[in-house]
Amino acid sequence: MPLGQLFLELGAVILALALVGRAAGRLGITPIPLYLLAGIALGAVMHLGDAPEEFIHTGAEIGAVLLLFILGLEYTSRELQDNLAANRKLGLLDLALNFTPGFLAGLLLGFTPLPAVLLGGVTYLTSSGIASKILADLGRLGNRETPVILAVCVLEDVVMAVYLPVVAALLLGGTLVAVGVNLMVALGAFALAFFLALHYGHVLSRIMNVESDEALLLGVLGLVLVVAGIADLLKVSAAIGAFLVGIALSGEAAERARRQMEPLRDLFAAVFFVFFGLQLNLSTVPSVLLPAVLLAVVTSVTKFLVGWQGAAQAGVQARGRFRAGTTLIPRGEFSILIAGLGLAVAPSLGPLAAVYVLLTAIIGPVLTRFDAQLAPRLVRTQPASAP
């Protein structure tokens, strides 16, 4: 592809995102739903060449990693450890309420057990990228319910460290030995990364905290991408690897890294969300629309209940509980990944997951924006003021 055409196509996509971002600002909502719809519109009216499509795909992956890295900077390793320990029961509730609807729906749709298990994974996993973007856009990173949201997302990624190697090995027809080896590698990598972040984060912070802003930016970005790449190769979420780098950094290094990385996060996060829209083939929508809508409604309620219950246990009042519940509703990057694993055994799983993800990614951000209006209607006896 000529360089000029590449620049024209990428420039058109980025300008469209700029207009969408301005519209979201005027409406006072996070731009995520509008980015997704912009991706659908762009996919319908223009066909991107291979080079810009590959750039957007890669940019989307970087966006997911940077979203979780910036979120990790908000918490110390000790805070995260205490938070996970306090929310173990909530994690079990989340698994029961949100994996089950997808699994049962798969069986009702005529899937064999393995694709049904994959659909259960699609409906179970909150999009950490979208959740962190909501928190950042609406200025809620310091809210009392945010640690609960974070704990749920991290616990889900821990489950994924077990789930993904198992289903991947089963899809390939692997032996029990192969499944066991993959599982031990994934869990061992996660445990090692968490241990290093917990006990040696201060050393990393001291090494990274150089005088030059440019050197800091390049060093931190390179480290985040390297750790994310290693995590992905070891069958652990690349995003959770980046998240652990974020919690390892602390003090002045963390603050400077946040200032340097936030513009990059905003750019690649926008690309990340528009990529979802571009992936959706509109011709496949009618056949999967009804089950996708029903699944989106049911699992929006079940995920909302998880967030509400978790925030209630943390002593958060009604509006904070509402925000926790609605922020957890969107599914995203990993739901699409899980569905992609099963396309060979259930071709309709891909379009179903794409429409489902789009619906939940719109429902969650829109609802969480209107917590002041909607939360008091759910609990009349709770104060309507923010915690």
Amino acid at 69: F
Contact between residue 61 and residue 237 where contact means Cβ atoms under 8 Å apart: no
Closest CA to 274 of 131, 119, 64: 64
Contact between residue 336 and residue 279 where contact means Cβ atoms under 8 Å apart: yes
Which residue's structure tokens are 């690649």? 268
What confidence tens digit (pLDDT) does each residue in 97-136 have?
A: 999 999 999 999 999 998 999 999 999 989 877 888 788 8
Residue 306 has a pLDDT of 95
Residue 386 has a pLDDT of 42
Residue 24 has a pLDDT of 79
What's the predicted TM-score (pTM) here? 0.73
User: What residues does each domain of the chain span?
Assistant: 3-364
CA within 13 Å, CB half, 171: 20
Residue 387 has a pLDDT of 44
* Paired tokens of 168: 């991947």
Q: What is the spatial distance between Cα 67 and Cα 90, in angstroms, rounded to a whole number?
A: 24
Contact between residue 36 and residue 276 where contact means Cβ atoms under 8 Å apart: yes
Contact between residue 30 and residue 137 where contact means Cβ atoms under 8 Å apart: yes
What confidence tens digit (pLDDT) does each residue in 126-153 have?
A: 987 788 878 887 788 788 888 889 889 8
Q: What is the spatial distance between Cα 113 and Cα 6, in angstroms, rounded to a whole number?
A: 44
Per-residue pLDDT of the chain (387 residues; tens, 9 = 90+): 678 888 888 888 888 889 988 887 787 666 877 887 888 888 777 776 677 778 787 888 888 788 778 877 876 667 667 767 778 899 999 999 999 999 999 999 999 998 999 999 999 989 877 888 788 877 887 888 888 898 898 888 778 767 776 777 677 666 667 667 766 776 777 777 778 877 888 888 889 888 898 999 999 999 999 988 988 887 666 777 887 888 888 788 888 998 898 888 888 878 877 877 777 777 888 889 999 999 999 999 999 999 999 999 988 888 889 999 999 999 876 787 788 777 777 888 888 988 898 899 889 888 887 776 777 777 654 544 444
Q: What is the spatial distance between Cα 294 and Cα 202, in angstroms, rounded to a whole number?
A: 48
Residue 343 has a pLDDT of 74
Amino acid at 225: L
State the CATH architecture for 3-364.
Up-down Bundle (1.20)
